[in-house]
């Protein structure tokens, strides 16, 4: 965990250096900076020492991950502590749960601990209430739409003879301006362990292997501990249908 903390500190320092450079260039007031953490703490590393991790078995060709050809040593435990340049370790399920507290689940899951992440935005000339908080829901697909909106550009219907897929994100600029934006009516996820769909405060989750959907009211139960599916079968059915329509449209993961 000490190595993990050091990595976070290094990220903070690097971001500070970047912002200082922008400030020195006299561009800080008109530069939009969005900082988004990765989704969910990873459970790799297991609860006991292991010689494998992050998909790297101990006897695989682990000399292809560094430019100098030095093999990495995947795994965890007291005999393979993280930190040295040839390690590729993880802090395991227990620490992942701590990192995600109070949210349920970890990376790879469709619970909030696997898909929910904070976004920090800095834009002195564009954000109406600096230092404020908002609980309006966004998605990573909104970042391109936001950048285009901030730059005053339109998403092209055609580019160099190709027709790009339509833009699905929606600009976050209304949020930055202190307004209530028209967000996504439905958001869907297909991650390694789960399928999930959200409409307003309601969210349905089920295993990627199929089976019954769980239903949660995130406004009243943000930690997803009370399954409402049996009490609200019609709402659950509606969310499941929304997910299936999305899956048919975008194709298999």
What confidence tens digit (pLDDT) does each residue in 23-70 have?
999 999 999 999 998 899 988 888 888 888 777 887 888 888 889 999
Q: What's the farthest any 2 CA atoms get from each other in the chain?
A: 58
What Rg value do the Cα atoms of the chain yield, rounded?
Answer: 21
Question: How confident is the model at residue 88, as a pLDDT?
Answer: 83
Residues 189 and 242 in one domain: yes
- CATH number (domain holding residue 225): 3.30.1120.10
Percentage of residues in the chain having pLDDT higher than 90 = 71
Residues 132 and 224 in one domain: no
Residues 92 and 179 in one domain: yes
Range of the domain at 204: 185-253
Q: Which of 184, 203, 224 is the last residue of a domain?
A: 184
Highest mean pLDDT range out of 49-63, 64-78, 235-249?
Answer: 235-249
Q: Which of 184, 214, 240 is the last residue of a domain?
A: 184
Residues 194 and 179 in one domain: no
Nearest-angstrom CA–CA distance, 135 and 152: 26
pLDDT, mean of residues 66-86 = 86
Residues 83 and 28 in one domain: yes
Percentage of residues in the chain having pLDDT higher than 70 = 100
Question: How confident is the model at residue 214, as a pLDDT?
Answer: 98
Query: Which one is predicted more confidently, 86 or 25?
Result: 25
Residues 189 and 178 in one domain: no
Question: How confident is the model at residue 253, as a pLDDT?
Answer: 62
Nearest-angstrom CA–CA distance, 110 and 145: 24
pLDDT, mean of residues 131-147 = 94
DSSP conformation class of 71: P
Specify the residue for token string 């339509």.
166
pLDDT, mean of residues 112-119 = 94
Domain count, the chain: 2
Question: pLDDT digit string (tens) for 175-197?
Answer: 999 999 998 999 999 999 999 99
Residues 6+ apart with CB under 8 A from 51: 57, 58, 74, 75, 80
What is the pTM (predicted TM-score) of this model?
0.89
Mean pLDDT of the chain: 92
34: number of CA atoms within 13 Å, CB side?
A: 20
Residues 6+ apart with CB under 8 A from 244: none
Token reading at 202: 């309601």
Least reliable range by pLDDT among 55-59, 131-135, 155-159, 194-198: 55-59
Residues 204 and 237 in one domain: yes
pLDDT, mean of residues 100-121 = 95
Partnered with residue 148 across adjacent β-strands are: none
Question: How confident is the model at residue 102, as a pLDDT?
Answer: 94
Nearest-angstrom CA–CA distance, 53 and 75: 5
Residues 35 and 134 in one domain: yes
Q: What share of the chain is helix, strand, coil (3-state, %, to 5)?
A: 30, 15, 55
């Amino acid at each position: 965990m000490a190595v993990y903390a050091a990595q976070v500190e290094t990220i903070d320092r690097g971001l500070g250096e970047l912002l200082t450079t922008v400030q020195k260039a006299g561009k800080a007031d008109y530069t939009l900076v969005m900082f988004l953490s990765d989704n969910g703490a990873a459970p790799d590393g297991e609860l006991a020492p292991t010689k494998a991790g992050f998909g790297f078995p101990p006897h695989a060709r682990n000399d292809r991950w560094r430019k100098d050809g030095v093999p990495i040593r995947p795994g965890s435990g007291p005999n393979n502590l993280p930190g040295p340049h040839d390690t590729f370790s993880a802090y395991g399920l227990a620490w992942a749960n701590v990192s995600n507290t109070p949210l349920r689940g970890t990376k790879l899951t469709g619970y909030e601990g696997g898909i929910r992440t904070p976004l920090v935005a800095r834009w002195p000339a564009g954000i109406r209430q600096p230092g404020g908080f908002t609980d309006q829901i966004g998605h990573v697909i909104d970042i391109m739409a936001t950048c285009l909106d901030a730059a005053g550009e339109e998403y092209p219907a055609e580019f160099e003879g190709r027709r790009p897929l339509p833009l699905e994100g929606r600009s976050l600029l209304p949020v930055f301006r202190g307004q209530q934006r028209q967000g996504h009516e439905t958001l869907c996820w297909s991650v390694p362990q789960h399928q999930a769909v959200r409409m307003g405060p309601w969210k349905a989750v089920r295993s990627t292997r199929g089976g019954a959907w769980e239903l949660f009211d995130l406004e009243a139960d943000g930690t997803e501990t009370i399954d409402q599916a049996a009490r609200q079968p019609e709402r659950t059915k509606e969310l499941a249908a929304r997910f299936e329509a999305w899956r048919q449209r975008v194709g298999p993961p």
